[in-house]
Amino acid sequence: MNIILLGPPGAGKGTQAQRLVKERGMVQLSTGDMLREARTSGTEMGQKVAAVMDSGQLVTDEIVIGLIEEKIREGNTAGYIFDGFPRTLGQADALNELLSRNGAQLEAVIQLEVDDETLVARIVNRAKEAEAAGQPVRADDNEDSVKIRLMEYYKKTSPLIGYYYARNDLRTVDGLQDVEKVAADISEALV
């Protein structure tokens, strides 16, 4: 089963992806993690990623798709969770082509719905808790940065909601519930 977790920053995608990895044996494909891993891998693709990142440029869709395809070719019978990808309609089309080329398909898109006010509070509180525990705090885990990240999400990623709805792939889960209830609702949506 291949699924996309869709939702704004702080909606709980990473938390729920980790649960699915643990409970179902799925592989989480987080583009940020894959880029960091590739950068230090020494592979040809890794060298491309490092050069782009070191120059301060944004990594192209072509490179991200290449990294995802490398992971899919490694094979995993339990399926993949796409976290942080796709972010645009072009990336959604590219993902469909990639899956088709590799004899796979997308089974579901889970949209975690959370209001903006709650998202900002969640992320700011997460940063405060990390700081209090002596853990590293992301530089962009503050109210102003979160609002900018939300605006980017709405401009670029929210069109995916209509795209996947039209394809009858979209399942919406209330991300404001407790973690256990969100997980149960996701499991129910994946039946």
By annotation, the residues acting in catalysis are: 13, 87, 126, 138, 149
Residue 57 to residues 32, 38, 64, 133, 140: CA-CA distances in angstroms?
15, 16, 14, 33, 18
Extract the tokens encoding 165: 């709805």
| 52 touches 91 (CB < 8 A) | no
Q: Rounded to whole angstroms, how far apart are CA atoms 150 and 9?
A: 7
135 CB-contact burial (10 Å; exposed 0-12 / middle 13-18 / buried 19+): exposed
DSSP state letter for 103: T
Closest C-alpha to 3, from 48, 102, 13, 124: 13
Instruction: Find tokens 């019978």 and name the residue.
Output: 77
Sign of CA dihedral 33, 168, 159, 161: negative
